[in-house]
Amino acid sequence: MFFLGKKVNKVNAVIMLNARNATVVIMVFAAFAFSWGCAPVGPNYQKPEIKTPDAWHEAISREMGKQSGAALQTWWKIFEDPILDDLIERSRQSNLNLKIALAGIAASRARLGIVSGQELPGANAVGSYTRFKHSDHGPLKQLTPPGGFDAQNMFMVGVDAMWEVDVFGRIRRQIEAAGAEYEASIEDYRDVLVTLFAEVALAYVEIRSFQRQIQCAEANAAIQRKMLELTRARYHSGISSKLDTAQALSNLSNTEAAIPPFRTRLNSIINRLAVLLDMDTQTLYAKLGKPAPIPLARENIGIGMPADLLRQRPDIRMAEKELAAQTALIGAATADLYPRFAISGFFGLETGSFSDVGGGSSLAWGIRSPVKWNFFSGGKTRSNISFHKEIAQQDLFKYKNTVLKAMEEVQNAIVAHKQEKVRRNWLLVAVAATKEAVDLVVVQYETGLTDFNNVLTTQRSLFTQQDELVASQASVVLNLIRLYKALGGGWPIQGDERKMP
**CB atoms closer than 10 angstroms to residue 249:** 16
* 255 within 8 A of 463, measured Cβ to Cβ: yes
Query: Which SS3 state, helix, strand or coil, does residue 425 take?
Result: helix
For residues 95 and 102, give the distance between their C-alpha atoms in angstroms, rounded to a whole number: 11
Residues 276-329 pLDDT 10s: 999 999 999 999 989 999 998 865 555 544 555 667 889 999 999 999 999 999
* 344 within 8 A of 124, measured Cβ to Cβ: no
Please give the span between the terminal C-alpha atoms of the chain, in angstroms, as a whole number. Answer: 72
> In order of start, what are the domains of the chain with their CATH numbers?
41-121+169-338+386-486 (1.20.1600.10)
403: buried, middle or exposed (CB in 10 Å: 19+, 13-18, 0-12)?
A: buried
Could you give the residue ranges of the DSSP H alpha helices within 129-258? Answer: 170-236, 242-257
For residues 368 and 235, give the distance between their C-alpha atoms in angstroms, rounded to a whole number: 112
User: In Å, what is the CA distance from 18 to each residue of 2, 36, 367?
Assistant: 24, 27, 14
Give the orientation angle of helix 259-277 with respect to helix 242-257, to 10 degrees. 10
For residues 198 and 21, give the distance between their C-alpha atoms in angstroms, rounded to a whole number: 65
* 374 within 8 A of 336, measured Cβ to Cβ: yes
Query: Could you read off the pLDDT tens digit of each residue along the chain, which spans 501 residues?
Result: 333 333 334 334 333 444 445 454 445 544 554 555 578 898 998 888 766 665 555 555 555 554 445 578 889 998 989 999 999 999 999 999 999 999 999 999 999 999 988 888 888 888 888 888 888 777 877 878 887 878 888 888 888 888 888 888 898 999 999 999 999 999 999 999 999 999 999 999 999 999 999 999 999 999 999 999 999 998 898 888 889 999 999 999 999 999 999 999 999 999 999 999 999 999 999 999 899 999 988 655 555 445 556 678 899 999 999 999 999 999 999 998 999 888 888 888 787 776 666 666 778 888 888 888 888 878 898 999 999 999 999 999 999 999 889 888 888 988 899 899 999 999 999 999 999 999 999 999 888 888 888 999 999 999 999 999 999 999 999 999 999 999 888 887 554 444 444
Nearest CA to 155 among 185, 112, 126, 190? 126
Give the single-character DSSP code of 355: G
Identify the bridge partners of residue 164 per DSSP, sorted by sequence position: 342
pLDDT for 296 equals: 87
